[in-house]
Amino acid sequence: MKTTSMCALRSLCAPRIRRFLTRLVVGSWLVLAIGPACAVALEPAQADDPIEIQADQGIEWRREDKIVFARGNARAVRGDLTVEARVLSARYRERADGTTEIWEVNADGDVRIASAAETLAGDRATFDLANSVLLLTGDRLRLESGDSVITAEESMEYATRARTLVATGNVHARQGEREVRAKRLKAFLRPANQAAAQNATGGSSRLRRIEAEGNVRIVTPNDVMRSDQAVYDLDAGVAQLTGAVKITRGETQLNGCTGEMDLKTGVSRLLACGGTANTGRVHGLIAPGAIKK
């Protein structure tokens, strides 16, 4: 394996490196070259914004492996998108027309990804550029967008075009005064306003639908709902619950196998589990103080 030395990469005047860097494309972005504590941005071929990378310890370019590393408080910026980590690496490949494209970006150590729409954080990240899928791993994962916050302790897979996120490991999703906890959660986000809807990469997002499974717990200012699985439509304010359903309001509790809770009207519907005797019944405990005269 041939590894280009740090000293060679620090010399931006080297014609071969300059030619390589001016051909290295991220979508329509051109990547820059840097040395320790400095940065140089090159103009993009087909976009208005350049991409700029900064790192304290410089760049390592492995030509045979077609991979570039930036180490030491690495930071990449393009427009309103910023990626920060202790180490950034990019894998590239040559196109048929002779240009070069980056197909995968990896970040390791204290990863933070911020844009106008969302902010994500984790221990490690892999971005599949071809499919626009970002995978975050670690035990301190977090996505913030507007008043929506999702945290997890195992993984987050975020499809940026579809604005869907699958999180695993003690997942906690919160939007305003409503929150959902589960072992695994799939969240569907939507632009917070019409202007953002017209630009898939801009504007903050809000949770519109959650599919949760494993020790599901949905909490609102008035109700607590527990079940094995749940589908929660936040726009409609309706939660559909399946498996070991418990709906609690104050000291009043309803138990069943499946249920539906309309959080806007406060109307709950529960269905029995089937079977015989007490196993097939819906159970309810109504506290006297909860009954309005």
Instruction: Identify the three-state secondary structure at position 194.
Output: helix
Q: What is the pLDDT of residue 147?
A: 87
This prediction has a pTM of 0.77
User: For the chain, what's the residue count?
Assistant: 293
Q: What local confidence, expressed as pLDDT, does residue 203 receive?
A: 57
Using a CB cutoff of 8 Å and minimum separation of 24, what contacts does 195-202 make?
A: 196/117, 200/161, 200/163, 201/115, 201/116, 201/117, 201/160, 202/80, 202/116, 202/117
Q: Which long-range contacts (CB under 8 A, 24 or more apart) does 270-275 make?
A: 270/245
Q: Which residue blocks in the chain are alpha helix, DSSP H?
A: 6-10, 15-23, 194-197
What are 47-60's pLDDT values in tens digits? 445 567 789 998 88
> Would you state the pLDDT for residue 224?
93
- For residue 129, CA distances in Å to 25, 33, 112, 167 come to 12, 21, 17, 20
Residue 102 is predicted with a pLDDT of 81
Q: What count of other Cβ atoms lies within 10 Å of the Cβ of residue 65?
A: 11
* Cβ partners under 8 Å of residue 19, min gap 6: none
- Residue 34 has a pLDDT of 33
Q: Please report the pLDDT score of residue 158 as a whole number.
A: 94
**Tokens standing for residue 85:** 């980590």
**Integer-rounded Cα radius of gyration of the chain:** 25
User: Which DSSP letter does residue 41 get?
Assistant: P
Count Cβ atoms below 10 Å from residue 267 Cβ, excluding itself. Answer: 10
How far is C-alpha 75 from the geometric centre of its chain's CA atoms? 19
- Which pLDDT value is given to residue 86? 97
Q: pLDDT value at position 264?
A: 86
Please, is 61 exposed, middle or buried when counting C-beta atoms within 10 Å of its C-beta (0-12, 13-18, 19+)?
buried
Written as six digits, the tokens of 143 are 């996505």
Are 126 and 135 spatial neighbours (Cβ–Cβ below 8 Å)? Answer: yes
**What is the per-residue DSSP string for 232-286?**
EETTTTEEEEEEEEEEEETTEEEEEEEEEEETTTTEEEEE---SSGGGG--EEE-
Distances (CA, A) of 159 to 38, 134, 153, 219: 33, 6, 19, 26
The pLDDT of residue 17 is 36
21 φ/ψ angles, rounded to the nearest 5 degrees: -65, -35
In tens digits, the chain (293 residues) has pLDDT values of 444 333 333 333 333 333 343 334 333 233 433 333 333 332 333 344 556 778 999 888 888 998 989 999 999 887 788 999 999 998 888 888 888 788 888 999 999 999 888 899 999 999 988 888 999 999 899 999 888 999 999 999 999 888 899 999 999 999 999 999 999 999 999 886 644 444 444 556 789 999 999 999 999 998 999 999 999 999 999 999 999 999 998 888 888 899 999 988 888 888 777 644 445 566 666 666 554 44
Of the candidate CATH numbers 2.40.50.90, 2.60.450.10, 3.40.50.2000, 3.40.190.10, the domain formed by 77-290 belongs to: 2.60.450.10
